[in-house]
Amino acid sequence: SCQMDQSTNEPLINYLDLTSKKPWQVFPRAPIFPLLWGATLSLWGRDQSSEQNSCFSETHPVFHPSQSSTYEEVGNRFSIQYGTGSLTGIIGADQVSVEGLTVEGQQFGESVKEPGQTFVNAEFDGILGLGYPSLAAGGVTPVFDNMMAQNLVDLPIFSVYLSSDPQGSSDSELTFGGYDPSHFSGTLNWIPVTKQGYWQIALDRILVGNTVMFCYEGCQAIVDTGTSLLNGPSHKIKELQEAIGATPMDGEYAVNCANLNTMPNVTFLINGVSYTLSPNAYILQDLVDGMQFCSSGFQGLDIPPPAGPLWILGDVFIRQFYAVFDRGNNQVGLAPTVP
């Protein structure tokens, strides 16, 4: 009876680079930590599952519907397909509390079966979707839509600030009900949403150095906190990797860290405004065996028509540009992040 989505089999591995999590509580259990992604609200674990991976409860809190007086089982089945794993489950409803904001009757997916290791290894315990309702698995109403409907927020706006601090101990923030001017400089540039699913916008041009290299006649992109890197069509990204001097190394594209100062900027022209990423912004630096390792923040991902092709301005981009998501006027606001 489970409706499996057969539309795509692209290897979706974005969770590999996930670094941002937030506390989230479904009454009355302990906090769990979801990933912000798409428009699904899903919990990985449910206690009634006999099919659940035995490693699961060791790495994730298990959800106990029977312990909640406010829980209601809706019963619809849902399925989410990932390239390296999948999950199926049922829809339930309960209070969902995020930092003191309590949403009543929030429907969410409770995972019953998770083949493979994808969601066992992943540190996050669920997904808190921030997209439009059309994107929601199982047809549930997303959390922020319920926040708006229940008048929990003054403005139909949420914002994301991702700190560039590589240690990440400080102050990244999701803001419901508005935005915080202290997190960006100058004024927000508002960009109309072109398709209400993901937060999709139009790109005018993409430049490498001072040369227009991609998107000559305009193209489409999504601003997506659930994507860690900056993705684009695979053949374009291959050209881009070559343009910045990245070469294959152990299955991923990397650069010589000593070359950061000579690598080109990559600029996205959006609604007439330039958004420039320096090499320090689009190269991910890491220590491997005490040696500095510099991997490319660009990744090829082909999204077939009619949804694609799409560029995905993920965390690599949002770390540099504070992002405001305005459901009232269906627009995205961007401005340079204050470090």
Give the interface with another protein as residue ranges (CB under 8 A): 11, 13, 15-23, 33, 83-84, 98-101, 121-123, 152-154, 162-163, 165, 167-169, 171-180, 228, 234-235, 237-238, 241, 248, 250-253, 286-288, 293, 299-300
Nearer to another protein, 192 or 235 (CB): 235
- Is there a cis peptide before residue 309, judged by omega within 30 degrees of 0? yes
146 vs 133: CA distance, rounded Å: 11
Nearer to another protein, 23 or 209 (CB): 23
Nearest of 8, 18, 11, 9 to residue 225 by alpha carbon: 18
- Phi first, then psi: what are they for 240, rounded to 5°? -65, -40
Nearer to another protein, 18 or 260 (CB): 18
Nearer to another protein, 173 or 204 (CB): 173
45 vs 147: CA distance, rounded Å: 24
Written as six digits, the tokens of 264 are: 């080109």
Helix (H, G, I), strand (E, B) or coil at 71: coil
CB of residue 230 to another protein, shortest distance in Å: 13
CB of residue 324 to another protein, shortest distance in Å: 11
CB of residue 133 to another protein, shortest distance in Å: 21
Residue with tokens 């206690």: 47
Nearer to another protein, 119 or 198 (CB): 119
CB of residue 208 to another protein, shortest distance in Å: 17
Nearest of 275, 277, 280, 316 to residue 299 by alpha carbon: 316
CB of residue 123 to another protein, shortest distance in Å: 6
Largest CA distance in the chain: 61
